[in-house]
Amino acid sequence: MIETPEPDLREQAQRAGSLSMTGSVATRVLGVVAIAAVGVMALLALWISPADAVQGDAVRLMYVHVPSIWVAYGGFVLTAFASARVLWRTRSGVGGTYGVIADRQARRWDRVAGAAAELGVLFTALTLVTGSLWGKVTWGTYWQWDARLTTTVLLFVTYLGYLALRRLPAESRARARRSAVMALIAVVNLPIVHYSVDWWRTLHQEASLNLEPGGDRNITGEMYWTLLYSWATFTVVALWIGIHRYRVLRLEELAEEASLEELLAQRRDEQAAGR
């Protein structure tokens, strides 16, 4: 198997003329596009899109609330996919049983899983907060332990646990594998969250967009296009941050390896002095 070398982070940051260690031409372009897209989204969502006949201006929270959870779903699905790849590439007999991950692809997938999960947690938190504000004006309460809200909180807490697990000190291979197993367990909750409004009687409304073939659209016109545009904007923003976070995870690995090397060198010096 041919493995491509890891990109030189310093080289890519310098090429982009970026002061950020994790910057590159791609992230600079994405950053500009993301910020411009957010500006247009604010314009569409707050001014151009009409107020709802029943909910009034409160409906404008939908353009943050719904894309947030869609992007979070995407992050968690990507975490699960990357985790499956990690497990496959570090399976028994491949790259040893203990110690660091020898396989570069496995390390990359592990970073993808970590970065995507963190973004998923951020956007789930945004979903919960904006949903709560929306609930106050439409339901008269910030919180209700109904099926959708409860399963979403469970999703949030589970992935917080996943992020905590990733931070527990261990050899990189063991850490990557156990995190991957947890990610594959945690993702089971995703369809439960999504279909909770269909499976149980809930205060929460049904899905904003009916994606079933031939199904009725719950939203049309300017609201529909603004919602889709907001989702695209959130995706670009998530991609932009995700690339930076992936590179920071690479730097964290390098820092960990450097401190390990330093400790080993110290130990060698001590042994040599003791002789």
Partner 1 sequence: MTHAANVFSGYVLAAVATAAYVVWVIRRGRTLGRHLGIGARGPVSDVADESRPRD
Q: Give the 3-state secondary structure percentages of the chain, helix then strand then coil, rounded to 5.
A: 75, 0, 25
Rounded least distance, CB 57 to partner 1, Å: 5
Pick 85 or 245: Cβ nearer partner 1? 245
> Taking CB under 8 A as the criterion, which residues in 250-269 touch partner 1?
251-252, 254-255, 258
Sequence-separated (6 or more) residues with CB below 8 Å from residue 79:
112, 113, 116, 117, 120, 159, 162, 183, 187
For residues 67 and 78, which CB has a smaller minimum distance to partner 1 in the complex?
67
Look at residue 97 and give its three-state secondary structure: coil
**Under rule CB under 8 A, which residues in 125-144 are in contact with partner 1?**
125-126, 129-130, 133-134, 136-137
For residues 61 and 126, the answer to whether their CB atoms sit within 8 Å is: no
Q: How many residues bind partner 1 (CB under 8 A)?
A: 44
60 binds partner 1 (CB under 8 A): yes
Q: H helices of the chain, where?
A: 9-15, 25-43, 62-89, 104-138, 147-167, 172-186, 189-199, 221-274
Site string for partner 1, 232-251 (x = CB under 8 A): -----x---x--xx-xx--x
Sole binder of partner 1 in the list 23, 74, 75, 114 (CB under 8 A): 23
Name the minimum Å distance from CB 257 to partner 1.
10
Type of residue at 101: I
Name which of 23 and 74 has its Cβ closer to partner 1: 23
Provide the minimum distance between the beta carbon of 237 and partner 1 in the complex, in angstroms, as a whole number: 7
* Residue 217 in tokens: 């659209």
Q: Is residue 82 within the footprint of partner 1 (CB under 8 A)?
A: no
For the chain, the residue count is 275
What six digits make up the tokens of 161? Answer: 């646990």
Nearest to 3 by CA among 100, 85, 104, 87: 104
Q: Is the dihedral of CA 237, 172, 189, 142 positive or negative?
A: negative
> For binding to partner 1 (CB under 8 A), which residues are involved?
9-10, 13-14, 17-23, 38, 42, 45-46, 55-58, 60-61, 64-65, 68, 122, 125-126, 129-130, 133-134, 136-137, 237, 241, 244-245, 247-248, 251-252, 254-255, 258
